[in-house]
Structure 1
Amino acid sequence: MDLVIGPLDLSAHVDEALAVQAIAFGLGPDEVAVRRQIVVRHMQYPGARALGATADGLLVGFVYGMPNSRTHWWSTVVEPYLRAEGHAGWLDDSFVITELHVHPHHQNRGVGRRLITTITDGAAEPRSILSAIDTDSPARGLYHSLGYADLARQVHFPSAPKPYAVMGAPLPLRRAGSGRR
């Protein structure tokens, strides 16, 4: 497999990306339709950028994020949880990882690690934040291995059936097999 990580015009490839997310995250057509509108809107925010992972010309993973703003919907939901834990300052001067998904056939091969480290290496902000389903999952294991720590747990998003954890890490992210940050 010849894997290539590079810039992704997510607005132009939103359907391909959401197809990966639907398979990786178990989304139905109605959820995909809602997320499509959100992704297109997010890509218009200042500093928003995306990377894709392609194998043999097919998109097999993607990540996108942006400098965080307390005015973004996500920030308004997580702020009370972070404030309660003494971590509300993480919402300032952070690069938020909005979505990171890898097709199941390409998981556990370092694709997600390469996507998230590459996108955060290009961030001007000194730290990164994200949210992930609050369970002992391979995704949370990856984030912990990169230096992300739990800032708030049992965060409830409207219409999300499962609680999330908000995690943060200083940049650059930790690299596997080294103490380098």
Structure 2
Amino acid sequence: MIDVLAPAEAIHAAPELGAVYLSAFGAPGYDEEPARAEEFATEQIPLHSQRDDFKLVVARDAGKLTGFAYGFTGHRGQWWSDRVAAAVSPELADEWIGGHFEVVELAVVVEAQRQGVGAELMAALMTDLPNRKALLTTFADDRPAPRLYRRMGWKVLVPDLGWDSALYGLNLGVPLGH
């Protein structure tokens, strides 16, 4: 079951979100430390929940949170937008960065991965957005997340930004999966 949480609900659910984050990104190959999951829950979620058009979708199985995805409208002057703008051509930055929907995280607990939960979360996240374009960064190498994004119609804009991350874009005027 997929639900959309309001910003206050996201902050209330932050400990559960942190546990999902740790399961997904603490796994081998990602190797995030527990302290990073704590920072995600106590600092990143509260900060990002205040951004324009914040949207968080969660997956639950028998009442237990099994995954989430979230983003917001990104603007120049924000850390990620400025970092990406500095790494791409001025033309690409002008076309894509500023007013875009910024997909920040997609995480699914290890035991629920490869069951379609990530695709359901992304489809729900990208529904009814006010933005014309969307952006995300993900691993530059071949992993499940980049494959999922490509299957859902995301295009590689820059294969490697210089920090082992690829930049993906999606024109929101085109239906997902096409």
- Normalising by structure 2, we get a TM-score of 0.87
In the other structure, the counterpart of 1:32 is: 37
Cα deviation for residue 156 of structure 1 reads: 4.5
In the other structure, the counterpart of 2:125 is: 119
* 2:132 is equivalent to residue 130 of structure 1: no
Cα deviation for residue 169 of structure 1 reads: 1.0
Cα deviation for residue 155 of structure 1 reads: 2.4
* 1:60-75 superposed matches below 5 A: 60-75=66-81
In the other structure, the counterpart of 1:160 is: none
In the other structure, the counterpart of 2:61 is: 55
Aligned residues: 167
Cα deviation for residue 174 of structure 1 reads: 2.4
Poorly superposed stretches of 4+, deviation over 4 Å: none
In the other structure, the counterpart of 1:6 is: 3
* 2:176 is equivalent to residue 174 of structure 1: yes
* 2:172 is equivalent to residue 164 of structure 1: no
**Which amino acid is the alignment partner of residue 16 of structure 2?**
E
Cα deviation for residue 168 of structure 1 reads: 0.5
Aligned mates of 2:50, 2:61 — CA distance in 1: 27
Change (3 A) 1:153 1:81: farther
Report if aligned partners of 1:69, 1:75 keep a CA contact under 8 Å in 2. Answer: yes
5+ unaligned residues in a row in structure 2: which ranges? 27-31
In the other structure, the counterpart of 2:18 is: 18
**Which residue of 62, 78, 95 maps to 2:84?**
78
SS of 2:88 mapped into structure 1: helix
* 2:88 is equivalent to residue 87 of structure 1: no
Cα deviation for residue 35 of structure 1 reads: 2.0
5+ unaligned residues in a row in structure 1: which ranges? 158-162
**Which amino acid is the alignment partner of residue 169 of structure 1?**
L
Cα deviation for residue 40 of structure 1 reads: 1.1
Change (3 A) 1:144 1:156: same
Cα deviation for residue 93 of structure 1 reads: 3.1
SS of 1:10 mapped into structure 2: helix
CA RMSD of aligned residues (A): 1.6
**Which residue of 148, 153, 167 maps to 2:154?**
148
Report if aligned partners of 2:81, 2:98 keep a CA contact under 8 Å in 1. Answer: no
Change (3 A) 1:110 1:173: farther
Bigger mean CA deviation after superposition, 116-125 or 136-145: 116-125
Q: Determine what percentage of the aligned residue pairs are the same residue.
A: 27
Aligned mates of 2:150, 2:175 — CA distance in 1: 10
